[in-house]
Chains A and B, each alone.
Chain A
Amino acid sequence: MTKESIIAIVLGLVLGVAVAFAVVFYTVQTQKEQNTQTQPDATVASVLVPSVVPPTVTVLRSLEITAPQSGTTAEGKTVAIRGNAGAKTLIIVQSAAKNQVLTTEQDSFSIDFPLVLGENAITVSAYHEGSVVPVQKKLYIYRLDP
Chain B
Amino acid sequence: MNIRIALFLLLSLTVLALASFTVMVHAQDVPATSSAPMQATELEDPDSLRMLRDKLASVVAELRKKDEQVVAGEVRVIEPNYLEIDTIAGVVQKVELDEALTKYFRVVGAAKEEIEPKDMVLGAYVLVTGLRTDGSFTANEIYIDEHFDSKAGRVTELDATNLTLRLETFDKDILTVSVARSTTQELLNASGTLEASIFSRIKEGDTVHVVYAVSSLRTPVSAVTPTRLLVIPMGYLSK
Contact = CB atoms under 8 A, between A and B. Distances in A.
A71 interface: yes
Query: What band does the interface of chain B fall in when counting residues whose beta carbon is under 8 Å from A?
Result: 35 or more
A118 B143 contact: yes
Interface stretch (B12-20, B35-43, B91-99, B159-167): B12-20
Contact of B112 (A21, A72, A117, A140): A117
A13 B148 contact: no
B238 A118 contact: no
Interface stretch (A47-55, A58-66, A79-87, A92-100): A92-100
A94 B150 contact: yes
A17 interface: yes
A128 B110 CA distance: 35
A75 B28 CA distance: 49
A99 B188 CA distance: 10
A9 B146 contact: no
A117 B110 contact: yes
B16 A71 contact: no
A57 interface: no
Interface of A is mostly: mixed
A140 B72 contact: yes
Contact of B149 (A72, A121, A125): A121
Nearest to B70: A142
A24 B143 contact: no
Contacts of B72: 119, 140, 142
A63 to B, nearest CB: 13
A15 B12 contact: yes
A8 B7 contact: yes
A89 to B, nearest CB: 11
Contacts of A20: 15-16, 18-20
B21 to A, nearest CB: 10
Interface residues of A, number: 48
Contacts of B230: 92, 94, 99
A99 B184 CA distance: 10
A11 B211 CA distance: 94
A21 B22 CA distance: 12
Given A94-B150, A103-B192, A132-B238, A16 B228 contact: no
B11 interface: yes
Contacts of A11: 8
A145 to B, nearest CB: 9
The 6 A-B residue pairs with the shortest CB-CB distance, nearest first, are: A16-B15, A20-B19, A12-B11, A118-B107, A118-B145, A12-B8
Given A9-B7, A12-B9, 19 more contacts: A12-B12, A13-B11, A15-B8, A19-B16, A20-B16, A20-B19, A23-B16, A23-B20, A24-B23, A92-B209, A95-B148, A96-B213, A96-B228, A116-B110, A118-B112, A119-B147, A121-B147, A136-B170, A142-B70
